[in-house]
Structure formats: C-alpha cells, structure tokens
C-alpha cells in the first residue's frame, strides 16, 4: 500500500516503510500533481509545469529521469508511454487529504479527525526551483482546498447546532476563524453559540476579537448586524436566532462600482518629483512594464514618492489610482500573506471578497479594470508575490507600483532603486506575460 502525506512535508510511505529519498522531492510532487489533475497527464504538460524555464529537450530529459526514479521507488504506481503519464487506481494508494471528504457525522472521533487536518499547510515543506507554473497551480490548490475545508467545517458546525452540541460547535467555529479571521458570519455564529452556552462574557470577548481582527486584516469595523448582536448580548436582550449560515459568500457578491476611484492627497508638499517621478511615470504608462518595484531601505521616502506618482497618474487611468498600506500587516506563511493582501486591496477599492477563494475573486474583480494599484511596504508580506503575479497576468489594464525593501523576484518585474539622494533604474525585464 502506498500512502502519500501532503499536509506539511510531502512524504511517501510504501508498505509501512518511509521513503526518505522522496520527501519534499520533485518526483513525489509530480506523482501527486498527476493524481490531483485526474490521474492522467501528458508529458508535454508535465514538462511545462515542472521545467517551464528549460527548452523542450532538456525538460523531457528531466522528466525521463524522474519517471525512472518513480518506477523504482513506487513500483506499479506509475505508468507512462510516449505521450502520457498515468497513476493507476490499482495497486491501491491513499492520500491524507481524503480525510476531508469522509461522510460527516457528529461523533467526537469524526470531529477530532476533521479538526486535526491542517489543510492550510498543503505541501508546506515543498520548495521547487524554477517552476513558476507549478507555483501558480500550488497556490490555486491551496485556495481551493481551504475553501472546501472551510465549507466542510461550516456544515459540521451547522449540524452540531441543530443537535444542540454547542461545545463542539464552538470548537469547530474557532477552527473556522483560525482559517478566516475576517469572516463575520463565523464570528456571529460563535457569539450566538457562547450565548446558548450561557457564556455571556465569552460572547462579548468574541465580538471584541472580531472587531480587532477586522481592523487588523481589513481596516474596517464590524457591520451593522454584528454590532446589533453585540449590543443585544451586552444589554442582556434576547438574541435573535441566526437567519444566516456561516457559509462563505459567493464570488458574485464581490462587486465594485465601476465609477469608484480612490483619490490620493495631492495637497502634500511633494519634493524631488523631477527625474525620479518621470522615470516611474514612464514605466507605469508603458505596455511592457506592468509591475514596478520601488526598492530601497526604510525612511528614504519611497512612500512619499509613490504617492506623488499616484497623484500624477490618477487621471491617466480610467479607474484611477488606489493606494494600499501594508505596513501594519504581520508577516505570514505564503498562502496567508496572499489572502491578507487580497482582503486589504478589496477593502481599499470598496469590495468584500468571499472567504476561501480570495485570490480568484480579486482577479475577477480587478481583471477588467484599468487602474494603478500602489502596494506600500510590501516587504511585510513578501510571500504574497504570487498574488501580484496572478493579477498582472490576467489583467491587461492593471499597473502595480510596489514599494519594498526587497524586490519581488518576478520574471517580468521592473526594479527601480531609491537612494537617499536620487533614484536609479537597474533591472530590465526578463520575460513577457
């Protein structure tokens, strides 16, 4: 029996014996990719995903080496012909991910199994070099898995509420909020659960935790329904039963008024516009440079200059310029950084994203827009670079100006160094989107 564990480190166990040579390896990742894309994949697609930066001959040679290794280590679990790689259903194999899809019951054992899954750590120990298409696929898989997992947890919480097991319901809802701390429906559900348990103090504390999370993550206050619930708890009034499920809203609710424009303050006494601002303006209005990083140490005026450029270019973009301050965000793991930045950008343009599919929803939201997006202090969330790449790859009209102490490392990024005295362009673009 082959067992593949992909939550955290990617590990392989064959007949009860670990195969350390495959831990967090490209070979194991390739096998898993074939499994999760339907069990069959063309050689051409695998070459593109895993060796996209190599020429075709080199990529195919690398694939042959990995397939030979997989045949040796996982006998019978991989087949290939001249065009296709297949993972057969027999001999049997299992994935730890399968525990997420077992039939839901309200038994304590099933609850414990579901809560123990760390879906957000999918392939958390895997690092593949020079495989940007795989990185994109991995980001999308993490988002999709977290969305499914959150939906499963929410369904379980609803079921526990129906049978009156409020203690277990609270435990499940807390796990939901560990994945989506900005989800007000889950906060409201947990507040009501605490009320049902007779824990008024915990309910009040949960509202305060909600307000703090929304301020930290999205820079917004709780909405009217959350505040009304809090007031009822605070004054000992009857709490109206929830008419909602805590299930995430659908992507279609993430709408943006097409006429909305975020004004930038042009009353500030800007200095040093001249050559510095001209260089950035020229880049951001060029069809060839959709991501520009203004890089330099702290305290030398990157934010000041970026705002000046935003003011100057606001009227050049039909949807205006939008400034997003990331300085107060706490560094997180890659997928969490992307989620935090997605919510912060959405809040800045006046939208709300559905929990669990933030990146896709933001791409859909900004895709048709012609806008300048300024992401300030990006070094705080450097692991969110994949979100930036996805936005510019799928939107021809979007331009992104990033201020950071380090470059993003994207293939098409233009980097401009900000010195204390002047600004110097240094890096040329490498590839086209």
Q: Is 381 buried (19+), middle (13-18) or exposed (0-12) by CB count in 10 A?
A: buried
Domain ranges in the chain are: 2-98, 112-249, 274-427
What's the per-residue H, E or C state across 309-321?
Answer: HHHHHHHHCCCCE
Six token digits for residue 316: 């050049």
pLDDT averaged over every residue in the chain: 83
Q: What is the pLDDT of residue 334?
A: 58
Q: What is the pLDDT of residues 148-165, one digit of tens each?
A: 898 899 999 999 999 999
| Statement: residue 25 has pLDDT above 90 | yes
Mean pLDDT within 335-356 = 83
- Based on its alpha-carbon atoms, the radius of gyration of the chain, rounded to whole angstroms, reads 24
Six token digits for residue 66: 């990995």
Mean pLDDT within 330-354 = 79
Residue given tokens 């065009």 in the structure block: 83
Name the class of domain 274-427.
alpha beta
CATH 3.40.50.300 fits 112-249, yes or no: no
CATH architecture of the domain with range 2-98: Orthogonal Bundle (1.10)
Distance CA 167, CA 24 (A): 38
Q: What is the pLDDT of residues 351-367, one digit of tens each?
A: 878 877 888 889 889 98
Six token digits for residue 252: 């279609």
Distance CA 272, CA 312 (A): 13
Task: Give 259 or 69, the one with higher predicted confidence.
Answer: 69
């Amino acid at each position: 029996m082959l067992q593949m564990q992909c939550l955290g480190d990617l590990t392989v166990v064959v007949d009860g014996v670990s195969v350390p040579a495959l831990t967090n390896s490209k070979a194991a990742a390739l096998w898993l990719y074939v499994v999760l894309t339907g069990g069959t994949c063309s050689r051409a697609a695998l070459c593109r995903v895993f060796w996209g930066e190599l020429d075709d001959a080199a990529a195919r040679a690398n694939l042959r080496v990995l397939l030979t290794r997989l045949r040796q280590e996982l006998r019978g679990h991989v087949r290939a012909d001249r065009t296709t790689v297949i993972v057969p259903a027999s001999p049997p194999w299992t994935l730890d991910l399968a525990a997420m899809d077992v039939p839901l019951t309200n038994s304590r054992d099933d609850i414990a199994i579901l809560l123990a899954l760390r879906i957000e750590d999918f392939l958390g120990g895997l690092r593949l070099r020079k495989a940007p298409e795989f990185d994109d696929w991995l980001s999308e898989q993490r988002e999709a898995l977290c969305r499914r997992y959150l939906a499963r947890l929410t369904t379980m919480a609803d079921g526990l509420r129906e049978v009156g097991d409020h203690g277990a319901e609270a435990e499940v809802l807390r796990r939901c909020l560990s994945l989506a701390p900005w989800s007000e429906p889950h906060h409201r559900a947990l507040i009501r659960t605490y009320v049902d348990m007779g824990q008024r103090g915990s309910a009040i504390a949960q509202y305060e935790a909600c307000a703090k999370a929304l301020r930290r993550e999205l820079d917004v206050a709780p909405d009217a329904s959350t505040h009304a619930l809090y007031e009822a708890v605070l004054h000992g009034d009857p709490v109206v039963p929830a008419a909602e499920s805590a299930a995430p809203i659908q992507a279609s609710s993430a709408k943006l008024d097409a006429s909305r424009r975020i004004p930038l303050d042009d009353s500030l006494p800007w200095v040093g516009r001249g050559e510095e601002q001209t260089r950035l303006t020229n880049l951001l209005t060029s069809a060839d440079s959709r991501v520009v990083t203004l890089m330099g140490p702290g305290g030398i005026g990157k934010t000041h200059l970026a705002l000046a450029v935003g003011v100057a270019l606001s009227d050049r973009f039909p949807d205006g310029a939008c400034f997003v301050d990331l300085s107060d965000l706490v560094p997180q793991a890659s997928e969490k950084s992307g989620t935090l930045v997605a919510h912060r950008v959405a809040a800045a343009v006046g939208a709300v994203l559905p929990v669990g599919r933030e990146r896709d929803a933001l791409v859909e939201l900004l895709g048709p827009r012609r806008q300048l997006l300024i992401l300030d202090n990006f070094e705080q969330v450097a692991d969110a670079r994949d979100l930036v790449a996805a936005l510019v790859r799928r939107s021809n009209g979007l331009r992104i100006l990033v201020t950071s102490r380090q470059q993003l490392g994207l293939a098409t990024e233009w980097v401009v160094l900000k010195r204390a005295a002047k600004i110097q362009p240094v890096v040329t673009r490498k590839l086209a989107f």
